[in-house]
Amino acid sequence: MRIIETIAEMQQAADNWRAHGERIGFVPTMGFLHKGHLDLMRTARRLSSQVVISIFVNPTQFAPHEDFDSYPRDMQRDLDFAREVGVDAVFTPNLHEMYPEGFQTYVTVTEVSKNLCGRSRPVFFRGVATVVSKLFHAVKPHLSVFGEKDFQQLVTIRRMVRDMNMDVEIIGHPIVREEDGLAMSSRNAYLRPEERPVALRLGRALALAQDLVSSGERQVDAILGKVSEFIAGDGAAKIDYAQICDPNTLEDIAHIGGPALLALAVWVGKTRLIDNRILQPSG
Amino acid sequence: MRIIETIAEMQQAADNWRAHGERIGFVPTMGFLHKGHLDLMRTARRLSSQVVISIFVNPTQFAPHEDFDSYPRDMQRDLDFAREVGVDAVFTPNLHEMYPEGFQTYVTVTEVSKNLCGRSRPVFFRGVATVVSKLFHAVKPHLSVFGEKDFQQLVTIRRMVRDMNMDVEIIGHPIVREEDGLAMSSRNAYLRPEERPVALRLGRALALAQDLVSSGERQVDAILGKVSEFIAGDGAAKIDYAQICDPNTLEDIAHIGGPALLALAVWVGKTRLIDNRILQPSG
Are A105 and B103 an interchain contact pair (Cβ–Cβ within 8 Å)? no
Q: What is the mean pLDDT of residues B53-58?
A: 98
pLDDT tens, residue by residue, B69-116: 999 999 999 999 999 999 999 999 999 999 999 999 999 999 999 999
Q: Which residues does chain B have within 8 Å of residue A111's beta carbon, measured at their own beta carbons?
A: 102, 104
- Which residue on chain B is closest to A109 by alpha carbon? B105
pLDDT of residue A166: 98
Provide, rounded to the nearest whole percent, the portion of chain A with pLDDT above 70.
100
Asked whether A30 and A55 are in contact (CB, 8 A), the reply is yes
For residues B51 and B103, membership in a common domain is answered with yes
CB neighbour list of residue B33: distance below 8 Å, 6 or more residues apart: B77, B78, B81, B82, B186
Global pTM?
0.96
Asked whether A154 and A172 are in contact (CB, 8 A), the reply is yes
Are B165 and A7 an interchain contact pair (Cβ–Cβ within 8 Å)? yes
Question: Is position B169 within any domain?
Answer: yes
CA separation for the pair A35, A76 (Å, rounded): 16
The band of A122, judged by pLDDT with boundaries at 50, 70 and 90, is confident
- Which of B113, B145, B173 lies at the terminal end of a domain, its last residue? B173
For residues B268 and B201, membership in a common domain is answered with yes
* Residue A191 to residues A80, A269, B77, B220, Cα–Cα distance (Å): 24, 8, 67, 60
For residues A67 and A143, membership in a common domain is answered with yes
Q: What is the mean pLDDT of residues B116-139?
A: 95
Asked whether A85 and A45 are in contact (CB, 8 A), the reply is yes
List beta partners, residue B88.
none
Are A165 and B140 an interchain contact pair (Cβ–Cβ within 8 Å)? no
pLDDT tens, residue by residue, A54-110: 999 999 999 999 989 999 999 999 999 999 999 999 999 999 999 999 999 999 999
Decide if pLDDT at A216 tops 80: yes
For residues A53 and A108, membership in a common domain is answered with yes
For residues A12 and A68, membership in a common domain is answered with yes
**Interchain contact A216–B (C-beta under 8 A):** no
Decide if pLDDT at A283 tops 60: no
Question: Is position A267 within any domain?
Answer: yes
Task: Exactly one of B34, B37, B142, B173 is catalytic; name it.
Answer: B37
Asked whether A275 and A183 are in contact (CB, 8 A), the reply is yes
Nearest alpha-carbon partner for B55 in B27, B94, B9, B92: B92
Angle at A85 between CA A79 and CA A91, to 5 degrees: 45
CA separation for the pair B264, B249 (Å, rounded): 17
CA separation for the pair A78, B179 (Å, rounded): 64
Decide if pLDDT at B47 tops 60: yes
Question: Is position B178 within any domain?
Answer: no
Q: Is the ipTM of this complex over 0.90?
A: yes
For residues A22 and A141, membership in a common domain is answered with yes
- Which residue on chain A is closest to B103 by alpha carbon? A163
- Which of A173, A199, A219 lies at the terminal end of a domain, its last residue? A173
- Which residue on chain A is closest to B130 by alpha carbon? A164
Question: Is position B181 within any domain?
Answer: no
CATH number for position B240: 3.30.1300.10
Q: What is the mean pLDDT of residues A262-278?
A: 97
pLDDT of residue B283: 52
For residue A83, with 0-12 CB atoms within 10 Å meaning exposed, 13-18 middle and 19 or more buried, which class applies?
exposed
**Interchain contact B164–A (C-beta under 8 A):** yes
Are B102 and A159 an interchain contact pair (Cβ–Cβ within 8 Å)? yes
Are A108 and B105 an interchain contact pair (Cβ–Cβ within 8 Å)? yes
Question: Is position B268 within any domain?
Answer: yes
**Interchain contact B6–A (C-beta under 8 A):** no
Decide if pLDDT at B172 tops 70: yes
Decide if pLDDT at B122 tops 90: no
CA separation for the pair A237, A199 (Å, rounded): 8
Question: Is position B252 within any domain?
Answer: yes
Q: A185 CA to chain B: closest CA distance, Å?
A: 28
For residues A76 and A216, membership in a common domain is answered with no
Are B160 and A105 an interchain contact pair (Cβ–Cβ within 8 Å)? yes
**Interchain contact B142–A (C-beta under 8 A):** no
CB neighbour list of residue B85: distance below 8 Å, 6 or more residues apart: B38, B41, B42, B45, B51
**DSSP assignments along A194-242, one per residue:** GGHHHHTHHHHHHHHHHHHHHTT--BHHHHHHHHHHHHHTTSSSEEEEE
CATH number for position B137: 3.40.50.620
Q: B164 CA to chain A: closest CA distance, Å?
A: 5
Domains of chain B: total: 2
**Interchain contact A111–B (C-beta under 8 A):** yes
Are A106 and B107 an interchain contact pair (Cβ–Cβ within 8 Å)? yes
Q: What's the full length of chain A, in residues?
A: 283
Nearest alpha-carbon partner for B53 in B144, B129, B137: B144
CA separation for the pair B155, B148 (Å, rounded): 9
> Helix or strand or coil: residue A126?
helix
For residues B109 and B167, membership in a common domain is answered with yes
Q: A109 CA to chain B: closest CA distance, Å?
A: 4
- Which of B108, B138, B173 lies at the terminal end of a domain, its last residue? B173
Buried b (16+ CB within 10 A) or exposed e, B53-89: bbbbbbbbbbeeeeeeeebeeeeeebbebbeebebbb
**Interchain contact A142–B (C-beta under 8 A):** no
Are B108 and A108 an interchain contact pair (Cβ–Cβ within 8 Å)? yes
CB neighbour list of residue A269: distance below 8 Å, 6 or more residues apart: A190, A191, A192, A195
List beta partners, residue A275.
A264
Angle at B117 between CA B129 and CA A131, to 5 degrees: 25
Give the best residue of A162, A165, A168 to mutate against chain B (max B CB count within 10 A): A165
Question: Is position B82 within any domain?
Answer: yes
Which letter does DSSP use for residue A181 in this model? S
Active site annotation includes A20: no
Decide if pLDDT at A254 tops 70: yes
Angle at A184 between CA A180 and CA A190, to 5 degrees: 95
Provide, rounded to the nearest whole percent, the portion of chain B with pLDDT above 90.
96
For residues A160 and A40, membership in a common domain is answered with yes
For residues B162 and B23, membership in a common domain is answered with yes
For residues B203 and B141, membership in a common domain is answered with no
CA separation for the pair A55, A171 (Å, rounded): 19
Decide if pLDDT at A127 tops 80: yes
Q: What is the mean pLDDT of residues B191-208?
A: 97
Question: Is position A185 within any domain?
Answer: no
The band of B120, judged by pLDDT with boundaries at 50, 70 and 90, is confident
Task: Exactly one of A37, A137, A142, A255 is catalytic; name it.
Answer: A37
Mean pLDDT rounded to a whole number for chain A? 96
Residue A134 belongs to domain spanning: 2-173
For residues B231 and B153, membership in a common domain is answered with no
The span from the first CA to the last CA of chain A, in angstroms, equals 43
pLDDT of residue A282: 83
Q: Which residues does chain A have within 8 Å of residue B107's beta carbon, measured at their own beta carbons?
A: 105-108, 164
Q: Which residues does chain A have within 8 Å of residue B112's beta carbon, measured at their own beta carbons?
A: 104
pLDDT of residue B243: 98
